Amino acid sequence: MNAAKEAGVIFGPLMALIFIPFYAISLILSDPTAPIVQVFTYFPLSAPVTAKLRNGFGALGTGEAIFIIAMLFILGVLILRLAVHLFRYGSIQYSSKLNIAKTLRRRPTELADK
């Protein structure tokens, strides 16, 4: 993204996905085993909020909690690595937009050669 205005196009829907469980709280409370609640529980963007709501009302098992915490931790590490890689090898391109596919193919040795 070259400007904050362009990032807002993506950031808005992501924030909406994070807060969907608050709008479905009655469903989460009435039937925590419903398929849509399970999807919210294991979908990475809504998992933290849904898992906290289910845990607060005693509907989240220990095994589920451990799995969700591990999944979110691993996903967080992978996304952070991706962000660092994109910044490291993509921030050099000031004149053009970042091509993610080309940046992911770039190796650390290619940057040292230039």
User: Rounded to whole angstroms, how far apart are CA atoms 100 and 105?
Assistant: 9
Mean pLDDT of the residues in the chain = 81
Phi-psi region of 58 (alpha: psi -120 to 50; beta: other; left: phi over 0): left
pLDDT at 110 over 60: no
Q: Per residue in 28-84, pLDDT tens?
A: 888 888 899 999 999 988 899 999 989 988 889 999 999 999 999 999 999 999 888
Please compute Rg for the chain using Cα positions.
19
- What does pTM read for this prediction? 0.72
Domain, as residue range, for 67 = 4-113
Between the two ends of the chain, the Cα-to-Cα distance in Å is 24
pLDDT at 101: 75
Task: Give yes or no for a contact between 90 and 98, defined as CB atoms under 8 angstroms apart.
Answer: yes
Q: Looking at residue 1, what DSSP letter applies? A: -
Handedness of CA 91, 93, 94, 100 (dihedral sign): negative
> Which residue did the predictor score with more confidence, 91 or 105?
105
Task: Residue 57: name the closest of 76, 35, 41, 75 by CA.
Answer: 41
pLDDT at 87 over 90: no
pLDDT at 29: 84
> How many separate domains does the chain show?
1
What is the percent of the chain where pLDDT is above 90? 28
Q: Measured in whole angstroms, how far is the alpha carbon of residue 65 from the centre of its chain?
A: 18
